[in-house]
A and B are shown apart, each in its own frame.
Chain A
């Protein structure tokens, strides 16, 4: 089989992976919080998109913006009201808190939506490019993922809020001294993380079946991608996502599907030991 298809698979997967991880990476890098809710946020976004499509006949790509907005508000509130209370405490506390919150969200979704896998039936056709087949919905999802990531990058670089976020990431105390309302920045960042998760969920709903049982999977991918790419930076998530997509695709081709996931984890472990800041990351939060 030509490597072309394998690489194309890897890139398309990688684009989605980048989107999955970028919100997670941002929250981790800026707030130093591992958000265990991230996987559930993605699926929630997916469900909202699915039901908008099912009941309101809204095209998922159109639903993306409102869904993302809804997730932003949820994320903002969760951080402002809950996570913020333990923000200065060690890793274990914040992680356990988001884990507890995740249990609540997971239970709620299970009750509201049931565990049946849902899929948006939307056949957009395929693109044939020199022997390689690229399904349109995946291409669109990947493109949008990249666009969103780019937008986020620009926002962080250019807008006032964005620069405040970067400032807090670099040095929280100095930022506070400069008059930045750190708590609000935290809440906005968490909100953005949730927004990206929701947007990703909308894209994922087009490509994968949505069910509550995969929240842990997405979270796990986010972990690996952040380590590979580097924390807290948007280019890091991009590089990490694309890298993981390629790694999994190639390993699956050479060894097998299970081995592919194993290789991903092993590479992550090796990177942790050798270069914990990841391929692109800067030395920063431990």
Chain B
């Protein structure tokens, strides 16, 4: 009947049109490299997630301005597929699968949170998708035997050892250390690593306590520390915990020649929030913008990265920004070396990577962590973070906290 055949023709025409469009679109898709990025844009890690977003964007603009990544002779543009995982673990897991299966990304970037990184890595591992972790420095993140997880941050132990080196050399009389850590993957790891390393270095650990994730007040633990007369006070946590701790130290008149906060002083917001109280606080970092690395990457040198960041954000970049951009650089280099987007080959290329970039050397160990070398130690002097270590880049000496 006419109705049916007209309808039938309409159907087939639509089908053809849709198929054609789909083919066209898939053809268009094949021209770009898609990298999936679950970001913490809301929730407890929103502040940190934003840093990753900025760094990713900087790299993206540069790489696409140059035409894209060279894949076996052909330049392919890069597309970043971003979602807000709301600092929620279930969302992170769901998003990982969505990005891989639905958005069909070629590779993944890990979220900021340590636990969330593990969960995303778990999903990626099953699909054989390489995942770049940009803010994971604790061994426990890499201890599940995943082969597709790579991180640009060096293990915590390296920075802690450098810190101990600086302090024991320049203040040999500082022998009694008090440690206060946040009960959370990264801060706790930094506390336990310090406790182990300090013991080995012959320091006396006079106090080791952990405070809960949601803490409002640290007056009593700090008062306890005060009563033991430490030479070195070492506190780990996220910015708001450290700001609170430093202020309460001031409130209670707690003084010690060496005060270390991981990783407060590295971040601008810590110094802004504390003003004069930030003076003299030391920290370990994974990168400092005064480093003088040169490499074959979109920036070419640390200074170029620094200059672009300052022009864009009107502030100094910290290691989170750099490590995030470096993760994308590592991925880029691996793709270039592998000459293909084949995930298994890129994964192998990542494992074999041995390069120097604006961020420093990138060479992944068997567990996926970047090797550590000369991790910087800084101290806030005159309102700005000053490099105390490594020797070659040193800008100042360790000063006693007044």
Chain A positions 198-250 with a Cβ under 8 Å from a chain B Cβ: 208-209, 211, 213-214, 216-218, 220-221, 248-249
Taking CB atoms, residues of chain A closer than 8 Å to B211 are 257-258
> Are A252 and B220 closer than 8 Å at their CB atoms?
yes
> Are B251 and A208 closer than 8 Å at their CB atoms?
no
Q: Is A9's beta carbon under 8 Å from chain B?
A: yes
Taking CB atoms, residues of chain A closer than 8 Å to B274 are 119, 121
Please, which residue of chain A has its CB at the minimum distance from the CB of B268?
A116
Q: Is B27's beta carbon under 8 Å from chain A?
A: no
Taking CB atoms, residues of chain B closer than 8 Å to A121 are 273-277
Complexed CA–CA distance, A116 and B51 (Å):
11
Q: How many residues of chain A are within 8 Å of chain B by beta carbon? A: 41
Task: Give min CB distance, A99 to chain B, whole Å.
Answer: 16
> Are B42 and A110 closer than 8 Å at their CB atoms?
yes
As a 0/1 sequence over residues 31 to 51 of chain A, the CB contacts with chain B under 8 angstroms (1 = contact) are: 000000000000000000000
Q: Is A1's beta carbon under 8 Å from chain B?
A: yes
Please, which residue of chain A has its CB at the minimum distance from the CB of B42?
A110
Taking CB atoms, residues of chain A closer than 8 Å to B196 are none
Please, which residue of chain A has its CB at the minimum distance from the CB of B220?
A252
Complexed CA–CA distance, A213 and B50 (Å):
15
Taking CB atoms, residues of chain B closer than 8 Å to A214 are 214, 216, 240
Q: Is A107's beta carbon under 8 Å from chain B?
A: yes
Taking CB atoms, residues of chain A closer than 8 Å to B250 are 123, 135
Please, which residue of chain B has its CB at the minimum distance from the CB of A9?
B219
Taking CB atoms, residues of chain A closer than 8 Å to B46 are 110, 114-115
Q: Is A183's beta carbon under 8 Å from chain B?
A: no
Task: Give min CB distance, A137 to chain B, whole Å.
Answer: 8
Q: Is B396's beta carbon under 8 Å from chain A?
A: no
Taking CB atoms, residues of chain A closer than 8 Å to B247 are 119, 209
Chain B binding site: helix, strand, loop or mixed by DSSP?
Answer: helix
Task: Give min CB distance, A210 to chain B, whole Å.
Answer: 9
Q: Given A126-B253, A209-B244, A258-B212 in contact, is the A249-B219 Cβ separation under 8 Å?
A: yes
Q: Is B72's beta carbon under 8 Å from chain A?
A: no
Complexed CA–CA distance, A225 and B5 (Å):
75
Taking CB atoms, residues of chain B closer than 8 Å to A5 are 223, 252
Q: Is B215's beta carbon under 8 Å from chain A?
A: yes
Please, which residue of chain B has its CB at the minimum distance from the CB of A208?
B244
> Are A117 and B240 closer than 8 Å at their CB atoms?
yes
Chain B positions 35-67 with a Cβ under 8 Å from a chain A Cβ: 42-44, 46-47, 50
Chain B positions 273-309 with a Cβ under 8 Å from a chain A Cβ: 273-277
Q: Is B210's beta carbon under 8 Å from chain A?
A: yes
Complexed CA–CA distance, A57 and B221 (Å):
33
Q: Is A275's beta carbon under 8 Å from chain B?
A: no
Complexed CA–CA distance, A115 and B251 (Å):
25
> Are A133 and B220 closer than 8 Å at their CB atoms?
no
Complexed CA–CA distance, A252 and B251 (Å):
18
Q: Is A100's beta carbon under 8 Å from chain B?
A: no
Taking CB atoms, residues of chain A closer than 8 Å to B275 are 121
Complexed CA–CA distance, A126 and B46 (Å):
35
Taking CB atoms, residues of chain B closer than 8 Å to A137 are 251
> Are B244 and A13 closer than 8 Å at their CB atoms?
no
Q: Max chain A CB contacts within 10 Å: which of B44, B217, B273, B275?
A: B217
Q: Given A114-B46, A126-B253, A261-B212 in contact, is the A211-B221 Cβ separation under 8 Å?
A: no
Q: Is B239's beta carbon under 8 Å from chain A?
A: yes
Chain A positions 160-215 with a Cβ under 8 Å from a chain B Cβ: 208-209, 211, 213-214
Contacting residue for A133 out of B209, B217, B239, B253, CB 8 A: B253
As a 0/1 sequence over residues 187 to 223 of chain B, the CB contacts with chain A under 8 angstroms (1 = contact) are: 0000000000000000000000111101111111101
Task: Give min CB distance, A106 to chain B, whole Å.
Answer: 9
Complexed CA–CA distance, A107 and B84 (Å):
13
Q: Is B374's beta carbon under 8 Å from chain A?
A: no
Taking CB atoms, residues of chain A closer than 8 Å to B218 are 257
> Are A257 and B219 closer than 8 Å at their CB atoms?
no
Q: Is A67's beta carbon under 8 Å from chain B?
A: no
Please, which residue of chain A has its CB at the minimum distance from the CB of B243?
A209
Contacting residue for A135 out of B209, B214, B251, B273, CB 8 A: B251
Contacting residue for B224 out of A1, A110, A208, CB 8 A: A1
Taking CB atoms, residues of chain A closer than 8 Å to B252 are 5, 133, 135
Task: Give min CB distance, A225 to chain B, whole Å.
Answer: 12
Task: Give min CB distance, B275 to chain A, whole Å.
Answer: 4
Task: Give min CB distance, B219 to chain A, whole Å.
Answer: 4
> Are B210 and A258 closer than 8 Å at their CB atoms?
yes
> Are A119 and B219 closer than 8 Å at their CB atoms?
no
Q: Is B342's beta carbon under 8 Å from chain A?
A: no
Q: Is B143's beta carbon under 8 Å from chain A?
A: no
As a 0/1 sequence over residues 175 to 187 of chain B, the CB contacts with chain A under 8 angstroms (1 = contact) are: 0000000010000
Contacting residue for A117 out of B42, B183, B217, B269, CB 8 A: B269
> Are A260 and B216 closer than 8 Å at their CB atoms?
no
> Are B227 and A107 closer than 8 Å at their CB atoms?
no
Contacting residue for B47 out of A12, A107, A115, CB 8 A: A115
Taking CB atoms, residues of chain B closer than 8 Å to A253 are 220, 223-224
As a 0/1 sequence over residues 232 to 263 of chain B, the CB contacts with chain A under 8 angstroms (1 = contact) are: 00000001100110010011110000000000
For the complex of A and B, the 3 pairs showing the least CB-CB separation, nearest first, are: A135-B251, A1-B227, A117-B240
- Show 6 residue pairs from A and B whose CB-CB distance is below 8 angstroms, ordered by the A residue: A1-B224, A1-B226, A9-B219, A116-B239, A248-B220, A257-B220
Apart from A253-B224, A257-B212, 20 more pairs, CB < 8 Å: A114-B46, A115-B44, A115-B46, A116-B269, A117-B240, A118-B273, A119-B273, A123-B276, A123-B277, A133-B252, A135-B252, A208-B216, A209-B243, A213-B240, A220-B214, A248-B220, A253-B223, A257-B221, A258-B211, A261-B214
